[in-house]
Amino acid sequence: MKAVPQLVQHIRDEMGKVVVGQNEIKDQCVIALLCRGHVLLEGVPGIAKTLIVKTLSHLMRLNFHRVQSTSDLMPADIVGTNIFNMATSAFLLHKGPVFTDLLLVDEVNRMPPRTQAALLECMEEHQVTIDGTGYQLSQFFTVFATQNPVEFEGTYPLPEAQLDRFLLKLRVPYPGEQDEVRLLANVQNGFESRELDKMDLKPIDAGLLEQAQQELKSVTVEEALFSYIVQIARRTREWPSLSLGASPRAAVSLMAVSKAVAALDGRDYVIPDDVKASSRPVLRHRIIMKPEADLEGITPDQVLQDVLQAVEVPK
């Protein structure tokens, strides 16, 4: 296990020059890239969600596009469309922003349902179909979608089918007091988030990301942990405060992220603590609370904590 720890340490060191704090969120975003999965970032505006993704693309030498979601955004604005060229009397493909490596969809819950649905094929199949013709997307294509908390007005809740396409849902908190003080000091000393090229950031070595992704395949999972992961997923399906539990795809995602957590720790084998650490970000958006549980103020994270305590840990 060489490439994964090297990649993660490099990202931590260099991103620390730009984004103050939020270390867990940074690591989880790297895990998503290692697992080739998509991320839903939830948090109030102004806490560096966009900056984290933009800096990550800069360090990884990956192409980056950003979409600002609005209530009138159309599917063609996301995937692209064919435009008739009068000079050549032929249709020319105008590629949408999904033709990139890292796609940041800002405030995805302000996007109308029809346009949200346009992302489904891109996220699941890594391809786009325009006027009946399929186009392959980048091998590194990853969606980082930001979302305002549910209580904000003017939003469209993401449907269950689309939520299940996200490998992780990360809750981005406010920075700690000392981190916020450091942020002000950095700005006073000339830091400008729109000028990353002037930050003297060292990009990672070419091919290191692919090498790290390959290393994950060598992380072993004991048979007892297969059962442990499945029991966690199945227990959510019968939990009294849930109307919808985790799908089989969720169990597969939980295993993949557990392997990445182990690799970040420099291990080539998974332990139960890796599964526990992965459970909330992998499952919190894939379970649906019953209305009465919502009224009582019970959160998905609380339910998952109870589920983990109820499932016997393998020795």
Residues 140 and 276 placed together within one structural domain of the fold: no
pLDDT tier at 151, thresholds 50, 70, 90: low
Is residue 242, in this structure, part of any structural domain at all?
yes
| Domain edge (last residue) among 145, 178, 213 | 213
Same domain, 128 and 170: yes
Domain assignment of residue 201, yes or no: no
- 200 in a structural domain: no
Tally of structural domains, the chain: 2
Is 197 inside a domain boundary?
Answer: no
CB 167 within 8 A of CB 284: no
What pTM was estimated for this model as a whole? Answer: 0.89
132: CATH = 3.40.50.300
302: pLDDT strictly greater than 90: yes
Q: Are 154 and 16 in the same domain?
A: yes
Co-location of 234 and 165 in the same domain: no
Please report whether residue 199 resides in a domain: no
Same domain for 157 and 283, yes or no, is: no
Domain boundary pick from 179, 213, 247: 213
Lowest mean pLDDT among 185-189, 191-195, 265-269: 191-195
Asked if residue 273 belongs to a domain, the reply is yes
Sign of CA dihedral 274, 276, 278, 282: positive
Please determine, for residue 150, whether its predicted confidence score (pLDDT) is greater than 70. Answer: no
Residues 174 and 306 in one domain: no
Look at residue 1 and tell me whether its pLDDT is greater than 80.
no
Domain of 283? 219-310
Torsion of CA 28, 31, 37, 40, to 10 degrees: 10
Residues 10 and 119 in one domain: yes
Residue 255 lies in a domain: yes
* Confidence band, pLDDT 50/70/90 cuts, at residue 154: low
- Distance between CA atoms of residues 52 and 61, nearest Å: 14
Question: CA-CA distance, 218 to 213, in Å (whole number)?
Answer: 10
Q: Residue 281: give its domain's CATH number.
A: 1.10.8.80
At 291, list the tokens.
């209305």
Residues 20 and 63 in one domain: yes
Return d(Cα 167, Cα 170) in angstroms, integer.
10
224 and 129 share a domain?
A: no
Q: Are residues 48 and 161 in the same domain?
A: yes
Per-residue pLDDT, 108:
87
183 and 223 share one domain: no
Q: Is residue 48 part of a domain?
A: yes
Same domain, residue pair 142 and 62 = yes
pLDDT band at 221 (very low <50, low <70, confident <90, very high): very high
